[in-house]
């Protein structure tokens, strides 16, 4: 009779899901990252998706700078498979490399989305970004940082089906009761009182507003830190977001829209129901203006 009790006591206890998220493994804490870096074995590649001024001022030791221009085209679209593979290899990333990304606002979730788009699953976002790292008392570096030292062997897979939405998907969604289109921009962009880059003001017809900052602790000065699953569950319930619907997210260029997509992924929503409109308002507004379409 003792054996079952011994086995029960010795069985591993499942760790509590981080912040209550069904897929909390996609986030990493500063303490976890520090522990991974402080080993003699294979270490993760840490990517700083921040602006150049921020990078030069301070960054996590050993991190590599990854500004948007390295993985986005001038038209706001992300690079194709071959260019992304070259981008990852230039960072020394192999097929079995663990990648950790941090930002100072909203770029980490977008770069995470892009890695998953091309088949890289072992990618995590540092919850709280550099602020969390510094708050934990860990060292920082200043200046241009280190060189990569080697070329990686990462092989990009064909783009993940459905992970990216196109104009046609938006248009089809207008007639599909099971599809929701969400605008992740600011309220000023949503209501047309603000324009970015000289583009026409307005929003996609039928889209609902769901600002990216609502998913993070931006109001508390922590834009790189995600709210808990309980907090997001309340937000999603109020917005009427359900797992059985298809959800298409857009913003100005697709960067901010990745935050609500990533949040729904953390919450356990079916991956095949989550779509990012890569062209976003840059593409939609220019097409609509050229066609003489009335913008909302």
72/69 Cα distance (integer angstroms): 5
* pTM assigned to the model: 0.92
Q: Does residue 2 register a pLDDT over 50?
A: no
pLDDT at 296 over 70: no
pLDDT above 80 (res 243): yes
Per-residue pLDDT tens digits for 195-232: 998 899 999 999 999 999 999 999 999 999 999 999 99
**Mean pLDDT over the full length of the chain:** 91
- Whether 103 and 133 have beta carbons less than 8 Å apart is answered as no
Residue range 3-62, pLDDT digits in tens: 333 333 343 333 469 999 999 999 999 999 999 999 888 899 999 999 999 999 999 999
- CA gap 183, 254 in Å, rounded: 10
Q: Could you give the C-alpha distances from 189 to 203, 213, 291, in angstroms and in order?
A: 8, 14, 21
Q: How far is CA 280 from CA 80, 92, 161, 254, 268, in A?
A: 17, 30, 18, 6, 24
Calpha distance 204→180 (Å, rounded)? 12
Q: Is the distance from CB of 288 to CB of 200 less than 8 angstroms?
A: yes
Residue 149 has a pLDDT of 82
Q: What is the mean pLDDT of residues 267-290?
A: 90
Q: pLDDT-derived band of residue 146, with 50, 70 and 90 as boundaries? A: confident
CB atoms within 10 A of CB 95: 13
pLDDT at 293: 53
Residues with Cβ within 8 Å of residue 226, at least 6 apart in sequence: 19, 27, 127, 215, 216, 217, 232, 263, 266
- Proportion of the chain above pLDDT 90, given as a percent: 82
Helix (H, G, I), strand (E, B) or coil at 17: coil
Element (H, E) at 261: helix 258-266
Q: pLDDT tens-digit profile of 159-186?
A: 999 999 999 999 988 888 899 999 999 9
Q: Which residue has the tokens 């949503």?
A: 190
């Amino acid at each position: 009779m003792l054996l079952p009790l011994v086995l029960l006591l010795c069985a591993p206890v499942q760790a509590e899901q981080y912040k209550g998220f069904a897929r909390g493994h996609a986030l990493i804490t500063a303490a976890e990252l520090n522990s991974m870096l402080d080993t003699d074995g294979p270490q993760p590649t840490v990517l700083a998706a921040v602006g150049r001024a921020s990078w030069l001022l301070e960054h996590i030791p050993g991190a590599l700078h990854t500004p948007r221009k390295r993985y986005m085209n001038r038209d706001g679209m992300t690079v194709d498979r071959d260019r992304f593979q070259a981008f990852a290899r230039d960072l020394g990333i192999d097929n079995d490399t663990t990648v950790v990304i941090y930002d100072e606002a909203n770029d980490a979730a977008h770069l995470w989305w892009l890695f998953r788009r091309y088949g890289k699953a072992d990618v995590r976002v540092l919850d709280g970004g550099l602020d969390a790292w510094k708050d934990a008392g860990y060292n920082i570096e200043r200046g241009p940082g280190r060189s990569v030292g080697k070329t990686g062997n990462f092989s990009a897979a064909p783009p993940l089906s459905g992970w990216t939405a196109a104009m046609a998907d938006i248009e089809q969604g207008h007639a599909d009761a099971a599809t929701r289109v969400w605008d992740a921009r600011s309220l000023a962009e949503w209501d047309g009182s603000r324009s970015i880059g000289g583009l026409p003001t307005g929003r996609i017809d039928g889209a609902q507003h769901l600002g990216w900052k609502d998913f993070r602790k931006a109001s508390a000065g922590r834009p790189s830190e995600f709210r808990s699953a309980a907090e997001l569950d309340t937000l999603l319930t109020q917005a009427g977001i359900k797992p059985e619907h298809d959800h298409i997210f857009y913003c100005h260029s697709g960067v901010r829209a990745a935050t609500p997509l990533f949040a729904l992924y953390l919450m356990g929503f079916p991956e095949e129901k989550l779509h990012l409109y890569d062209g976003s308002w840059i593409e939609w507004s220019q097409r609509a203006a050229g066609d003489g379409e009335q913008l909302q």
